[in-house]
C-alpha cells in the first residue's frame, strides 16, 4: 500500500492564481480531511469528508473548495490564491467510525508559497 499520497510536493503561485492539490489513498478509508500547518499554530482543519459524495467545512474553510467523487481521491482547490494561504498542507485519511478507529494517517504534505 502506498498509503496517503499528495501531489505536488512544492508549489509557488502568484496572487489570484488557482490550483488543485491532489490527495489519494489506497486503504479504502471512508474519512478524508485536509489540514494546513502554520508556524506556532499547529494544524487546523480546512475541509473533511465522511464518504464519497459528502463533504463539510472545518475550522478554516474560506478560500478552499473540495469534492469527493470517489472513495480514493479528495482534491483541495484554491480558488484565488492569497499570500495568507502560504502554508504546508496535509491530507489525512481514517477508516472512520464504522471502522471503529479514530486514528488518522497523514500524507507527506504540500508546501505552498503564494507571492
Grid coordinates belonging to 7: 501531489
- CB nearer other proteins, residue 17 or residue 96: 96
Which of 19, 27, 50, 82 binds other proteins (CB under 8 A)? It is 50
Rounded Cα distance between 23 and 7, Å, is: 7
Q: How far is CA 67 from CA 18, 22, 48, 97, 103, in A?
A: 16, 11, 9, 20, 22
Query: Nearest approach, Cβ of 6 to other proteins (angstroms)?
Result: 8
Which of 8, 84, 102, 113 binds other proteins (CB under 8 A)? It is 102
Which of 19, 27, 45, 82 binds other proteins (CB under 8 A)? It is 45
Which of 1, 2, 14, 103 binds other proteins (CB under 8 A)? It is 103
Q: Is 54 in the site for other proteins (CB under 8 A)?
A: no
CB atoms within 10 A of CB 107: 22
Rounded Cα distance between 75 and 34, Å, is: 9
- CB nearer other proteins, residue 62 or residue 80: 62
Amino acid at each position: 500500500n502506498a498509503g496517503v499520497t499528495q501531489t505536488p510536493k512544492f508549489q509557488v503561485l502568484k496572487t489570484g492564481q488557482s490550483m488543485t492539490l491532489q490527495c489519494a489513498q489506497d486503504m479504502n478509508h471512508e474519512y478524508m480531511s485536509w489540514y494546513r500547518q502554520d508556524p506556532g499554530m499547529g494544524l487546523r482543519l480546512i475541509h473533511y469528508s465522511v464518504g464519497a459524495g459528502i463533504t463539510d467545512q472545518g475550522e478554516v474553510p474560506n478560500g478552499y473548495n473540495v469534492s469527493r467523487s470517489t472513495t480514493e481521491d479528495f482534491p483541495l482547490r484554491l480558488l484565488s490564491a492569497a499570500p495568507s494561504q502560504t502554508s504546508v498542507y496535509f491530507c489525512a485519511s481514517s477508516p472512520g467510525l464504522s471502522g471503529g478507529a479514530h486514528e488518522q494517517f497523514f500524507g507527506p504534505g504540500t508546501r505552498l508559497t503564494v507571492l
